[in-house]
Amino acid sequence: MTDLIFTGGPILTADGGRPEAEAIAVRDGIITAVGDRDEVVARRTSATEVVDLGGAALLPGFVEAHGHPTQMALALAPPSVDVRPFAIQDGAAVLRTIADTAAAAQPGVPLLFYGIDVLLQPGLELPTADVLDRLAPRNPVVVVANSGHAAYGNHAALAAAGLARDTPDPPGASFVRDDSGDLTGEVLEAAAIQRLGGPAVETIAKNLPANLAWAFRQHAAAGTTTVSELAYSAGQQHLLSAAGPDALVRLRAYEMATLDLARDPARRSGPWPADTDLFGQIGMKIWADGSPWQGNIKTTFGYLDTDATRRMGLEPHHHGGANWTADQLRELAVSFVGQGFQVACHVHGDGAVDDVLDAYEAALAAHPGDWRLRLEHAGAMRPDQFQRAAKLGVTVSLFIEHLHYWGDVLLDDLFGPDHGGHWMAAQSALDAGLRVSFHNDGTVTPPSPLGNIATAVTRTARGSGRVLAPSQRVTVDAAVRAQTIDAAWQLHLDRHVGSLAEGKAADLVILAGNPHDTDPSAIRDIPVQATYLNGRRTHG
């Protein structure tokens, strides 16, 4: 019996064998027919629901290849306070929000504010412990940068986290100190941020199940059906698991890497999740360097000397560094692949890309196979590096919305037209033969696969309207693939999702307009009318 039939609008399958169709049929959450309207509608029974698209476009459900739903749940939903530039436009308003929230809070309760950005919020300076003491004298306060690679705490927050002058830096992270050796309140990278934010997160975690449901709804409303979790911790499965009658997304998790996990001789990945499983861990996540907005990415070229870089605390011609040595990266990659995990490595600077590719080459030499080892974000990656990645069988997920939100910053404040203009060189990646995905990185930019597609096609900076490196623009078809079948391939799910074909899951999104027939600058504004996971409507 056929449960659902969709017809009455363009059906874009992302399937090379049949890129367009007039109708599809679904039974028990699986696509049973893709083809001409008459032949598909002939499967209709009295119990079949026929969905008339009314001219709307039907596509495969979007795939978020690099997501952070738990971070969204902890950092953006109440009682956390969203102070990202998408919510608050200038630095003075950010400081007022911190002060007003602290004044209204019960004394002693830890407070978490997420999303400051000195590059997009004019007048904002990086907050020190002393500044935050004045804004919030009665509460431990932690303010996390929108990049997710830095955080700032007042002295009460430092004390609540047990951080003192002699506290050693965790591996791959640091507690920033002044010239006299005292903590400034700034911390860099995941392990240090987790330590500083621990007390606040414990308070917020009481709402985690409800907050996770909120985060999943954000993805479903954007047309996304599959989400990766790139900061998974062992023990979260009972919270992250999407299994059940009300699941909004399917999840694939990557656990945060440590040297201890890499050096555990008994550690193995366990059975690879079945394609039909709605939750499963498939990989490990490494952070090779930091964020361009924090100045801690490893580049072969220097930052510009501008007002913006001075506000970031960078010296003229600054070069960032890496979180791990080349030998440590190699050990992590070789060990985790040997344990049976796919590896995804955060990397932005071209200098760090070389280190990661060296590590991946060693891992693949020691453990050959179709691992689809991943480079995450890859902002400054060069054409020759894309070519080397392709030869190794390594794939890339691009944070393409950097160009939309930070395009002017890249050009004018940080790197100039040569390096900033060629940021996220998507066409070079495709020219090298890579299958790429685009992503929104959880909390850093709002979930918007259509926004990613629009940015990849136009490469237009939101503020000035300038186009960054026009030769790096991609076609609408390539951009759609990067949000559907190629993203699913990166997650080893392409046999089950990512395109509309017989035998695949009925993961679908209905859009009010066809991206191929829409002015590229307007693609991001196409309304999402409905989203389906396994043939069950999750939005709209």
Residues 357-382: pLDDT tens digits? 999 999 999 999 999 999 999 999 99
Residue 355 maps to a domain: yes
Same domain for 461 and 376? yes
Same domain for 278 and 193? no
Predicted confidence band at 166 (pLDDT cuts at 50, 70, 90)?
A: very high
Same domain for 217 and 129? no
Torsion sign, CA atoms 190, 192, 198, 200? negative
Picking from 172, 187, 205, the residue at the C-terminal end of a domain is: 205
Same domain for 436 and 350? yes
163: domain CATH number is 3.10.310.70
Global confidence as pTM:
0.93
Residue 3 maps to a domain: no
Same domain for 454 and 425? yes
Write down the pLDDT at residue 243. 60
Write down the pLDDT at residue 484. 98
Picking from 173, 205, 237, the residue at the C-terminal end of a domain is: 205
Residue 267 maps to a domain: yes
Lowest mean pLDDT among 148-152, 182-186, 237-241: 237-241
Same domain for 174 and 83? yes
Residue 57 maps to a domain: no
Same domain for 213 and 153? no
Phi, psi (deg, nearest 5) at residue 497: -140, 175
Residue 536 maps to a domain: no
Distance CA 513, CA 485 (A): 20
CA atoms in the 13 A half-sphere facing the CB of 464: 12
Question: Per the structure, how many domains does the chain have?
Answer: 2
Asked if residues 292 and 303 have their Cβ atoms less than 8 Å apart, the reply is: no
Q: Which domain holds residue 174?
A: 70-205
Predicted confidence band at 453 (pLDDT cuts at 50, 70, 90)?
A: very high
Residue 441 maps to a domain: yes
Predicted confidence band at 242 (pLDDT cuts at 50, 70, 90)?
A: low
Q: Name 127's Cβ contacts closer than 8 Å, sequence gap at least 6.
A: 116, 135, 143, 152, 185
Same domain for 293 and 163? no
For 58, the 3-state DSSP assignment is strand
Residues 167-190: pLDDT tens digits? 999 999 999 999 999 999 999 998
Mean pLDDT of 506-511: 98
| Closest among 484, 517, 254, 294 to 374, alpha carbons compared | 254
Residue 141 maps to a domain: yes
Same domain for 253 and 193? no
For 185, the 3-state DSSP assignment is strand
Residues 34-68: pLDDT tens digits? 999 999 999 999 999 999 999 999 999 999 999 99
| Closest among 155, 104, 114 to 131, alpha carbons compared | 155
Distance CA 407, CA 423 (A): 9
Asked if residues 141 and 101 have their Cβ atoms less than 8 Å apart, the reply is: no
H helix and E strand count, the chain: 19, 22
Distance CA 221, CA 226 (A): 12
* Average confidence score pLDDT of the chain: 95
Asked if residues 444 and 150 have their Cβ atoms less than 8 Å apart, the reply is: no
| Closest among 115, 162, 105 to 135, alpha carbons compared | 105
Same domain for 494 and 364? yes
Helix residue ranges per DSSP H, 367-448 = 383-392, 402-408, 416-419, 426-431
E strand or H helix at 330:
helix 326-338
Mean pLDDT of 409-427: 97
Q: What percent of the chain has pLDDT over 90?
A: 91
Write down the pLDDT at residue 371. 98
404-413 burial, b for 16+ CB within 10 Å, e for fewer? bbbbbbbbbb
225: domain CATH number is 3.20.20.140
Mean pLDDT of 252-267: 96
Same domain for 219 and 78? no
Asked if residues 520 and 99 have their Cβ atoms less than 8 Å apart, the reply is: no
Torsion sign, CA atoms 43, 49, 55, 57? negative
Residue 46 maps to a domain: no
Mean pLDDT of 393-404: 98
Same domain for 347 and 406? yes
Secondary structure (DSSP) of 19-56: SEEEEEEEETTEEEEEE-HHHHHTT--TTPEEEE-TT-
Residues 291-342: pLDDT tens digits? 999 999 999 999 999 999 998 889 998 999 999 999 999 999 999 999 999 9
| Closest among 127, 79, 128 to 105, alpha carbons compared | 79
